[in-house]
Amino acid sequence: MQWYQADLHIHSCLSPCGDLSASPRMIADYAADTGIDLIALTDHNSSLNCPSFAYHAQSRNFQALFGMEATCAEEAHCLCIFGTLATAMDFSQFAERHLPKVQNDPERAGDQVWVDIHENIEGSYPYYLPNALDLGLSDLCTEVHRRDGLFIPAHIDRNAMSLLSQLGRVPFGNWDALEQLHIFTPNEQLMSDWPAPRTHGNKLPPAALEALTEILINQKLMCSPHWTDAIGAGACVLPSMIASSDAHEPHWIGQRRTLFWAETPSFEGLRQALHQGYALAAWSTEKFKF
């Protein structure tokens, strides 16, 4: 087993907030250069750019995952990530049926275009994509799990469009992990619904801890004190906390990332690591402006 690195939250030109230069090809090019092992494309409420992303990821020989950053009815963002393109596209069609039909105004909100593998625009999505789907948090999670996907509430500590901003806490649930934006240890108020203690008996082998120290130094990464506190207390912590770039421009990729201890840098390897507490949030001290 070894440590792998993932960036599980990236926007392309399909998201109105995403830069027009953020084509799937550009994202794949940039991701291939960062040394990150596993990249997920997660536009707002749609996976229409994932087919092109799949092609370019394969041609650059790195592992891609597919999905979206869905907005649940409570107006919190949630990462919905799938191991295959086919399931992501199936879920994308499902989400489309639950999106309010409010016209997008590209001048005001930004473009929402999807492209083919040659970066030709295939279409401009007519309805404003980041709107809330008419699906509650729990229902959305159930639909993702029904398709064998990972459900991860996004940037839970952000002051907008997060569980914290919308609900004031992180409700207990069947989430596969939680994404944190800032380097912090979740306080008791944020996690008040969760049974204590949140640590459990899994331990990482000493070799994993040694290898981690080396990676953090060599790659100029800082990991979350939430995780080091738990490991210091002798156990892994659940739910796993991840970090991701939430890149709106390709050069943001990898500024925040997730390290996970697994057999392979695959969807299954990631899932097992998340469920065992073998994953941690990390920040690039080079790329990230603290």
| Contacting Zn ion within 137-166 (CB under 5 A) | 154
Identify which of residues 71 and 261 has a Cβ nearer to Zn ion in the complex.
71
Residue 288 to residue 290: CA distance in whole angstroms? 6
Tokens of 84: 């295959």
Tokens of 68: 């979206």
Residue nearest to Zn ion (CB): 77
Give the nearest distance from C-beta 124 to Zn ion in angstroms: 20
Using CB under 5 A as the binding rule, whether residue 69 contacts Zn ion is answered as: yes
The only residue of 25, 56, 77, 256 in contact with Zn ion, by rule CB under 5 A: 77
Identify which of residues 31 and 231 has a Cβ nearer to Zn ion in the complex.
31
Tokens of 130: 């980041």
Stretch that binds Zn ion, among 33-41, 67-75, 221-229, 230-238 (CB under 5 A): 67-75
Give the nearest distance from C-beta 155 to Zn ion in angstroms: 6
Q: Is 109 helix (H, G, I), strand (E, B) or coil?
A: helix
Residue 109 to residue 18: CA distance in whole angstroms? 11
Give the nearest distance from C-beta 218 to Zn ion in angstroms: 28
Identify which of residues 7 and 212 has a Cβ nearer to Zn ion in the complex.
7
Give the nearest distance from C-beta 201 to Zn ion in angstroms: 33
Q: In 148-232, where does DSSP find H-type helix? A: 163-167, 206-218, 225-232
Identify which of residues 160 and 233 has a Cβ nearer to Zn ion in the complex.
160
Question: Pattern 208-247, binding to Zn ion, x per CB under 5 A?
Answer: --------------------------------------x-
Give the nearest distance from C-beta 96 to Zn ion in angstroms: 18
Identify which of residues 16 and 277 has a Cβ nearer to Zn ion in the complex.
16
Using CB under 5 A as the binding rule, whether residue 257 contacts Zn ion is answered as: no
Stretch that binds Zn ion, among 63-71, 98-106, 169-177, 275-283 (CB under 5 A): 63-71
Identify which of residues 154 and 238 has a Cβ nearer to Zn ion in the complex.
154
Identify which of residues 77 and 257 has a Cβ nearer to Zn ion in the complex.
77
Tokens of 197: 């203690």
| Bond before 206 cis per omega within 30 degrees | no
DSSP letters, 56-106, are HHHHTT-EEEEEEEEE-TTS-EEEEEESSHHHHHHHHHHHHHTS---B--H
Pairing state between β 241-242 and 178-179: parallel
Give the nearest distance from C-beta 154 to Zn ion in angstroms: 5
Residue 209 to residue 232: CA distance in whole angstroms? 11
Residue 251 to residue 242: CA distance in whole angstroms? 20
Give the nearest distance from C-beta 2 to Zn ion in angstroms: 28
Closest listed residue to residue 63, CA positions, set 35, 90, 88, 42: 35
Using CB under 5 A as the binding rule, whether residue 176 contacts Zn ion is answered as: no
Q: Is 30 helix (H, G, I), strand (E, B) or coil?
A: helix
Half-sphere exposure of 52 (CA within 13 A, CB side): 23
# residues contacting Zn ion (CB under 5 A) = 4
In sequence order, what are the residues at sequence separation of 6 or more whose Cβ sits closer than 8 angstroms to the Cβ of residue 196?
none
Interface with Zn ion (CB under 5 A)? 69, 77, 154, 246
